[in-house]
């Protein structure tokens, strides 16, 4: 297929740089527009990034000389752009919400990493293996907001919940209802962006608090696991969730220690492992380019998963699970790991865009 021309909003930040890295050789998408704040607008991309380029590859030759567009400069959007990936966070959440819908109103699909529209009732918050059916809300979003037939907003959820929520969904899908979840996350420095990666206080340190993270962790799964009505997404209210979120001195990779109680008798550990080993999500069934195969990697070694050994599983898109055990106070516990800036950010959004293409919401050339 001819490649779909895309733009990146917030292209100079850590998530934006990951978009550049992951999209430069993508079989379906081609970057033709990079946009950022007024501070970077008008500069060559390599000049705008300068010493803040944090990827493990050189700035791609096809991108480094591109002129950075001001994200608010709608008049100079290249005519061939058909899709925007957004890593933009404006001064406040309301401004970001409106900003994303301004692009949608001009006929562009927006796949966003921002938290601003995650709880907008007609905006699907997608983990493609869990809730692809939530994309069915898009026509209602377009009708309610009088958007062009090509314009809409979708979002990806908080990066840390993606390390374990696919595993929980797989168990629910297999018929094992869950009533309680307690999770402690050990989150990488890159989750705090450039400031996190360069902060002196975060080096050789564990910080037992991340502002707003526990609230997101406890709330967002209910929408992802919810159901679609005619006009909005109804959150799932049957699961109680408690979270403690910490920042740890690793660069990439969010680890989660998860404790679960089931509604009925707990399945055996062998059954749970079988469910995870056999799980097949819609991205895998559709053979989407970014879909990890398998989606869940189960490690039987007692000391796995480890960030250094497992964060790149499935090219950074797989969920890796280990330490599955019975627990004294809960039915089971396990440890899960995902790559926060790939699976949890740019890569997860790219997988959502692939799903949108496959389902006809983004037109192929």
pLDDT one-digit tens code per residue, 244-293: 999 999 999 999 999 999 999 999 999 999 999 999 999 999 999 999 99
Question: What is the C-alpha to C-alpha distance for residues 307 and 320, in angstroms, rounded to an integer?
Answer: 10
Report the pLDDT averaged over residues 204-217.
96
Whether domain 160-339 has CATH 3.30.360.10: yes
State residue 203's pLDDT score. 86
Question: What is the C-alpha to C-alpha distance for residues 127 and 150, in angstroms, rounded to an integer?
Answer: 21
Contact 334, 167 (CB under 8 A): yes
- Which of the pair, 350 or 365, is modelled with greater confidence? 350
Residues with Cβ within 8 Å of residue 362, at least 6 apart in sequence? 4, 82, 83, 109, 150, 353, 356
| Helix segments in the chain, DSSP class H | 14-23, 45-49, 61-64, 93-105, 138-144, 165-173, 193-198, 213-224, 269-278, 282-285, 307-310, 347-358
DSSP assignment of 109-128 equals: EEEE--STTTT-TTS-B--T
DSSP assignment of 319-343 equals: EEEEEEEE-SSSSEEEEEEE-TTII
* Percentage above 90 pLDDT, the chain: 95
Residues 162-205: pLDDT tens digits?
999 999 999 999 999 999 999 999 999 999 988 898 899 988 99
Parts of the chain belonging to CATH 3.40.50.720:
4-159+346-358
Tokens describing residue 32: 């033709």
Contact 160, 245 (CB under 8 A): yes
Confidence grade of residue 357 (pLDDT, cut at 50, 70, 90)? very high
Question: What is the C-alpha to C-alpha distance for residues 359 and 221, in angstroms, rounded to an integer?
Answer: 23
Question: What is the C-alpha to C-alpha distance for residues 301 and 298, in angstroms, rounded to an integer?
Answer: 9
Contact 162, 348 (CB under 8 A): yes
Q: Is pLDDT at 60 greater than 80 in this prediction?
A: yes
* Burial class of residue 278 (count of CB atoms within 10 Å of its CB; 0-12, 13-18, 19+): exposed
Residue that the structure tokens 């999500």 belong to: 281
Question: What is the C-alpha to C-alpha distance for residues 53 and 37, in angstroms, rounded to an integer?
Answer: 16
CA 19-24-29 angle, to 5 degrees, is 85
Give the DSSP H or E segment for 85.
Answer: strand 83-86
DSSP reduced 3-state for 19? helix
State residue 91's pLDDT score. 83
Instruction: State the pTM of this model.
Output: 0.96
Residues 21-59: pLDDT tens digits?
999 999 999 999 999 999 999 999 999 998 899 999 999
Would you name the residues annotated as active-site residues? 159, 254
Task: Let me know how long the chain is.
Answer: 365
State residue 1's pLDDT score. 74
Handedness of CA 38, 347, 234, 216 (dihedral sign): negative
State residue 228's pLDDT score. 97
Q: What is the DSSP code (8-state) at residue 45?
A: H
Topology, domain 4-159+346-358 = Rossmann fold (3.40.50)
Question: What is the C-alpha to C-alpha distance for residues 272 and 59, in angstroms, rounded to an integer?
Answer: 43
Question: What is the C-alpha to C-alpha distance for residues 214 and 201, in angstroms, rounded to an integer?
Answer: 21
Report the pLDDT averaged over residues 125-140.
98
Contact 140, 153 (CB under 8 A): no
Which is nearest to 156 in space by CA: 86, 222, 94?
Answer: 86
Question: What is the C-alpha to C-alpha distance for residues 24 and 268, in angstroms, rounded to an integer?
Answer: 44
- Tally of CB atoms within 10 A around 304: 17
State residue 142's pLDDT score. 98
């Amino acid at each position: 297929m001819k490649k779909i021309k895309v733009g990146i909003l917030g292209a100079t930040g850590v998530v934006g740089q990951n978009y550049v890295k992951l999209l430069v050789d993508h079989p379906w998408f081609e970057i033709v527009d990079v946009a950022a704040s007024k501070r970077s607008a008008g500069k060559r991309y390599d000049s705008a990034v300068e010493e803040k380029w944090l990827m493990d590859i050189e700035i791609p030759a096809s991108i480094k000389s591109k002129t950075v567009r001001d994200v608010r400069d709608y008049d100079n959007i290249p005519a061939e752009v058909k899709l925007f990936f957004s890593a933009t966070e404006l001064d406040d959440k309301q401004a970001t919400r409106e900003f994303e819908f301004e692009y949608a109103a001009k006929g562009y699909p927006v796949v966003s990493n921002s938290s601003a529209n995650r709880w907008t009732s007609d905006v699907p918050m997608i983990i493609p293996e869990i809730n692809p059916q939530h994309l069915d809300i898009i026509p209602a979003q377009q009708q309610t907001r009088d958007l062009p037939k090509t314009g809409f907003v979708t979002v990806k959820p908080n990066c840390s919940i993606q390390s374990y929520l696919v595993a929980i969904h797989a168990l629910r899908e297999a018929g094992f209802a869950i009533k309680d979840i307690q999770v402690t996350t050990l989150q990488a420095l890159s989750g705090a962006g450039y400031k996190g990666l360069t902060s002196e206080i975060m080096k050789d340190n564990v910080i037992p608090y991340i502002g707003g993270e526990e609230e997101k962790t406890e709330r967002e799964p209910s929408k992802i696991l919810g159901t679609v009505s005619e006009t909005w997404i109804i959150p799932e209210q049957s699961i109680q969730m408690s979270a403690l979120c910490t920042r740890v001195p690793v660069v990439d990779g969010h680890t989660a220690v998860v404790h679960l109680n089931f509604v009925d008798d707990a399945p055996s550990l062998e059954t749970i492992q079988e469910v995870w080993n056999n799980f097949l999500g819609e991205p895998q069934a559709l053979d989407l380019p970014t879909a990890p195969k398998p989606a869940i990697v189960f490690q039987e070694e007692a000391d796995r998963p480890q960030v250094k050994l497992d964060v790149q599983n499935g090219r950074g898109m797989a969920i890796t699970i280990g330490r599955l055990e019975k627990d004294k106070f809960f039915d089971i516990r396990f440890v899960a790991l995902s790559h926060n800036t790939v699976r949890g950010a740019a890569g997860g959004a790219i997988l959502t865009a692939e799903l949108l293409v496959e389902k006809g919401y983004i037109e192929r050339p």
